[in-house]
Amino acid sequence: MERQEEELFHKAFRGIANDPNLNFTQKSRYLALQADDMLPYPELDVQAKGAMESGLICDMFEGHAPFKPRYVMPDYQKAIIQGSEWLELAPPEDLDEAINFLLILFHHVPSVTNIPVFIGRLDQLLSPFIDDSITDKLLHKKIRLMWQMIDRTLPDAFLHVNIGPEDSRIARTILAVDRELKQVVPNLTLRFDPSVTPDSLLQMAVENISLCNKPHIVNEVMNAAEFVTPEDPRGFGIASCYNSLPLGGGAHTLVRINLKKAAESSDGSVENFIERVLPEVSGLTYQIIRARIDYLVNQSNFYQSSFLVKEGLIEQNRFTAMFGIFGLADAVNLLLKRKPDEGYGYCEQAQDLALEIVKTLSDIVKSTELEHCWNNRALFHAQSGISLDNDVSPACRIPYGYEPGTLQHLQTVLPLHKYFTAGISDIFPIDETIEKNPLALMAICKGAFQKGLRMFTANVANNELVRVTGYMVRCSDIKKLKEEGSRLNTTAFGSEAMDNCGINSRNAQIITDDIPWSKRQ
């Protein structure tokens, strides 16, 4: 190591150790990340290295030595049925034992953050332990205590719970507790199937959105069609923010392309961008993905040593890689030489180009073999942005501050959703008056799902809980961060995102009978 580089690392280490606003757990994590970055990166050629250094391709700062998967989706149902020899836990026999079993297991599930990003379909996991002896009041108390325990011991807003599509006492109690506590952790998704989920449960979820911007609502039918087969009924889970991944597996890694930078590297013509730039950048992206997977599978020994593998809670062949994109709006507007209020989201030509770009990349992902991955393929993902994304829009979103009316917004993004098997992250900014008319939001959600929307996420204005990308922050925590720090790991990311990404400029809409742009022309 060069002397100058060594001094920079020492300075970084010392800055972390001496930071008065980090607690000891946070210091330990940041010091470990610095140590990881001192190791050589998995072997890449000069072009791939250059693409990462320029920001054209981003590996999401997963580290130079991939020794754990990015996202892990254990089969918690199997764990509850068989118990855990490694944890010395027998199968639970009642609700208290089931909650205790899961809370212990959660602490041993890794991810890119060292905290689990998926803690299961809790209504399905806990409902078998509910009987008439457990009153609604007692159940509420137990779930409330569990919710507090999760938030206080696993303080990271990427941690995610799924409920639904079936109705249950547990699902309704979780929604009631989440509304009451308004915690950042855990994040929450309701899986909605119109043939199974009663309107009363969906309405309860929508009313929660107006109060605490949770839950996400996901199109169960659309996602299940891509993950569930008669030969493989295990299905999927929604992890972290908007990530749909095989249950009992997960994602080895997520590598994303900055489409804005890709457009800047073309000669300005759409044809050159589609036919030359996208295939070239995709090839470099796959080189990075393969290098990271090779290290994780063949060198780190994670899949050979983890008790999660040995006890059958995860299987290596159910892990995939996520081929991500962001900056679609910026790329489209650059190529068409349109201003943000004239391009993507506002005209049919931009819509057509966005669709062509996404379809081109989707075809590349579907046709490219990838060893050590579920079905020998990566999954296509619209990545929801990170706090360092300055002057580039997340995923396939309309740039912040330029969001049109909700129907026009939906019309823009809806045709893209079918391509992103691993998830797409659109956020619909809604005026706070929706609290007086949640049925309007419910109607929008159901109608959009019928048209092919994969996931529905709203951010209601002037709420204490703000949705940053997929995760949440509390406004009060942001205000206190610089003076006091935060016990929640993700507060710092949320603060950076508000400074760098224009989140506060979202254009909240009143849901009316606004006319989509295609009918105004």
Strand partners, 466: 473
Give per-residue burial for 220-251: e unless 16+ CB within 10 Å, then b: bbbbbeebeeeeeebbbbbbbbbbbbbbbbbb
Mean pLDDT, residues 195-206 = 98
CA distance 425 to 398: 11
Under a CB-based contact definition with an 8 Å cutoff, are residues 432 and 449 in contact? no
| 61: three-class secondary structure by DSSP | coil
Categorize the per-residue pLDDT at 231 as very low, low, confident or very high, splitting at 50, 70 and 90: confident
Question: How far are the Cα atoms of 411, 448, 468 from residue 442, in angstroms, in the given order?
Answer: 17, 10, 22
Please state the separation of Cα 478 from the chain's center in Å. Answer: 21
- 236-270 tens-digit pLDDT: 999 987 899 999 999 999 999 999 999 999 988 99
Strand partners, 244: 238
| 239: three-class secondary structure by DSSP | strand
Mean pLDDT, residues 456-470 = 93
CA angle 98, 103, 108 (to 5 degrees): 125
The alpha carbon torsion through 357, 359, 365, 368 (nearest 10 deg) reads -100
- 350-393 tens-digit pLDDT: 999 999 999 999 999 999 999 999 999 999 999 999 999 999 99
pLDDT > 80? residue 142: yes
Question: How far are the Cα atoms of 341, 410, 446, 510, 518 from residue 514, in angstroms, in the given order?
Answer: 17, 12, 17, 9, 12
Please provide the average confidence, as pLDDT, over all residues in the chain.
Answer: 95
- The candidate with the shortest Cα–Cα distance to 463, out of 436, 497, 431, is 431
pTM of the model as a whole: 0.95
Taking phi first (over 0 means left), then psi (-120 to 50 degrees means alpha), and beta for anything else, what does residue 150 get? alpha
Categorize the per-residue pLDDT at 520 as very low, low, confident or very high, splitting at 50, 70 and 90: very low
Place of tokens 């299940």: 224
Structural tokens at position 474: 């509390």
CA distance 424 to 410: 13
Report which DSSP code applies to 377.
S
Give residue 514's pLDDT: 55
Under a CB-based contact definition with an 8 Å cutoff, are residues 471 and 494 in contact? yes
Q: What is the dihedral sign for C-alpha 16, 22, 28, 32?
A: negative
CA distance 297 to 226: 25
Report which DSSP code applies to 157.
T
Give per-residue burial for 153-192: e unless 16+ CB within 10 Å, then b: ebbbbbbbbbbbbbbbbbbbbbbbbbbeebbbbbbbbbbb
Element (H, E) at 246: strand 243-246
In DSSP notation, 297-338 reads HHTS-HHHH-HHHHTTS--GGGEEEEEEEE-HHHHHHHHHT-
CA distance 158 to 103: 17
CA distance 417 to 408: 15
Please state the separation of Cα 234 from the chain's center in Å. Answer: 20
CA distance 426 to 177: 26
Give residue 335's pLDDT: 97
Categorize the per-residue pLDDT at 126 as very low, low, confident or very high, splitting at 50, 70 and 90: very high
Residues whose CB falls within 8 Å of the CB of residue 267, separated by 6 or more in sequence, listed in order: none
User: For the chain, what percent of residues have pLDDT higher than 70?
Assistant: 98
Under a CB-based contact definition with an 8 Å cutoff, are residues 461 and 208 in contact? no
HSE, CB side, 13 Å, CA atoms: give it for residue 76: 28
**Among 51-60, 233-242, 305-314, 334-343, which stretch is predicted with the lowest mean pLDDT?**
233-242
Q: Are strands 319-326 and 160-163 parallel, antiparallel or unpaired?
A: unpaired
CA distance 414 to 416: 5
Give residue 517's pLDDT: 47
Mean pLDDT, residues 32-59 = 96
Phi, psi for 130 (deg, rounded to 5): -100, 130
Phi, psi for 265 (deg, rounded to 5): -85, -5
pLDDT > 60? residue 306: yes
Mean pLDDT, residues 161-182 = 98
CA distance 261 to 266: 9
Give per-residue burial for 105-118: e unless 16+ CB within 10 Å, then b: bbeebbbbbbbbbb
- The candidate with the shortest Cα–Cα distance to 351, out of 405, 413, 429, 395, is 413
Give residue 482's pLDDT: 82
In DSSP notation, 270-295 reads HHHIIIIIHHHHHHHHHHHHHHHHHH
